[in-house]
Structure 1
Amino acid sequence: MLDDLDRRIVEILADDARISLKELAQRVELSSPSASDRLRRLEERGVIRAFTVDIDPQALGYTLQAIVRIKPLPGKLHTVQKLIREIPEFTECDKVTGDDCFIARLHLRSIEELDRILDRITDKAETSTAIVKAQPVKRRLPPL
């Protein structure tokens, strides 16, 4: 579990992973060495896995997003999973229970691109696709 100070550190870093250690320490009212020690322990415990960048796919020309439910045909589970990993437009994929095996998110430049990608899968799996109109809840932290 996290104490209140660790929660504040994680929340601050989730909002801005580029914050300087000095500013982070000031915002949580610790010395820089103490903040550094807390940060190191959060990393060692696996609470913080990486410091990353948040890219806007639209700025790169990916104007469409699609959510694809994928149900591999019998005997094709591993083949489909490998194919999903190899197609870079699949930016997220969860292996799930239920009727489908995978739920994946694609970033695309056009509907034609979606067709080309799905054509690579359709002989190995059934798919159901939804185009994302908006994302009212962006990826966020679970309650700390």
Structure 2
Amino acid sequence: MKDKLDRLDMQILSRLLNNCRESERQIGEGIGIASGTVNARIRRMRRRGIILDFVVRIDPPTLGHSTLYTVVLGQRMEEMLGHMRSMGEPFLVAPCVGGFAVCGVIVRDDVQEKIELAEKIDGMRVLSIFEPERSVSPRFTKTDMQIIRELMINPREKIDIIAKKTGLSTKTVSRCIDRLHGDDGIHFTVDYDPTKIRGFITHAIMIQVTGEAKPMFGKLAHMFSRNFLEVPFLMEKQIVLFLYSDDIYEMDETMQSIREMPGVKSVDLFIARSTKYSQEWMLDNIRKAETSPTLHLEQQWAENTVPATSSAPRTFSNLRTF
């Protein structure tokens, strides 16, 4: 097939999903091809509408916001968003094949109250809902937020250009970006259209385990890391793998292999049609930081949180599954 991607394309897409600031040279060295080939393949994926844009995403807890993630079944998009807005501000919506949808919501007030509300909403069938653990990241200064604003415009912008636009030194910009890279709650990534990918199927597998998730993740990584598309999520008793498979048969074999592993309670498959993130809440935080009389962005919740780590996979607690 003329438009069919190969495994090198998927490796390039994977590296961009996990760090879109990597240069073509760095990507090429990582997968063993020339930087010019990487550049040509990226341009081809953009031309075909596979790679839509380079973006910066910040997990809301990194800026002090409580969040809930839900898996909903059988909802039309307009209805689902209406229900989600009764709980908070939707920042992530991922409609999936089979009538599922994954939605992330910023909750401004009592989280437990919103969880109870979700159980009672007529016409909304919530299969799973959980609150990720909030972790303390470096306190963002106005300078940090100024640089983040520029990165939101162009996440791949060169350091000297950012320095020129902001009036900061290249050393300051470089140090800031290095620090942001080390924060698990900040992602330099890409928006992509999974429906345009030919030759592979991108999907997420959510795995419930009976014991601790970390040892199980080690076994899964040994078996399937070759097909990792994005950094997996490791939760209290749940693991989410983001993978790509050659076809439905390989995907089914992967699911069956996981089901047969000792300690696995359940396995669910999600094939996203699209993933939409809102950046408006991020811009609101930047605007507040720019007008704040204090140097640092306020994080009044910090005393109740735990230190952040930079190790992968990212960890979440307070899991609640219906």
Q: How does 1:48-127 map to 2 (within 5 A)?
A: 48-49=181-182, 54=190, 61=198, 63-73=200-210, 78=215, 80-86=216-222, 87=224, 88-91=226-229, 92-97=231-236, 100-124=237-261, 125=264, 126-127=266-267
- Among the aligned pairs, what percent are the same residue? 12
Candidates 35, 59, 65, aligned match of 2:170:
35
Candidates 265, 272, 277, aligned match of 1:132:
272
Distance 2:248 2:163 in 1: 47
Indicate if the aligned counterparts of 1:64 and 1:110 stay in contact, CA closer than 8 A: yes
Deviation of residue 137 (structure 1)? 2.2
Aligned residues: 135
**More deviation, 87-96/54-63:** 54-63
Q: 1:48 to 1:10 in 2, by over 3 A?
A: farther
Deviation of residue 38 (structure 1)? 4.2
Q: TM-score, normalised by structure 2?
A: 0.34
Candidates 153, 164, 167, aligned match of 1:26:
164
1:5 corresponds to 2:140: no
Q: 1:73 to 1:48 in 2, by over 3 A?
A: closer
The structure with the largest strand share of the pair is: 2
Moved over 6 A (4+): 50-53
Q: Deviations over 1:35-62 (max 9, x none)?
A: 323432553xx33339977596968756
Deviation of residue 5 (structure 1)? 2.3
Indicate if the aligned counterparts of 2:203 and 2:244 stay in contact, CA closer than 8 A: yes
Distance 2:220 2:191 in 1: 21
Question: Can you give the 5+ residue segments of structure 1 that lack an aligned partner in the other structure?
Answer: none
Q: 1:135 to 1:72 in 2, by over 3 A?
A: same
Indicate if the aligned counterparts of 1:84 and 1:90 stay in contact, CA closer than 8 A: no
Q: What SS does the aligned partner of 1:9 have?
A: helix
Deviation of residue 3 (structure 1)? 2.3
Q: 1:60 to 1:95 in 2, by over 3 A?
A: same
Q: 1:37 to 1:131 in 2, by over 3 A?
A: closer
> Alpha carbon RMSD of aligned pairs, Å?
3.7
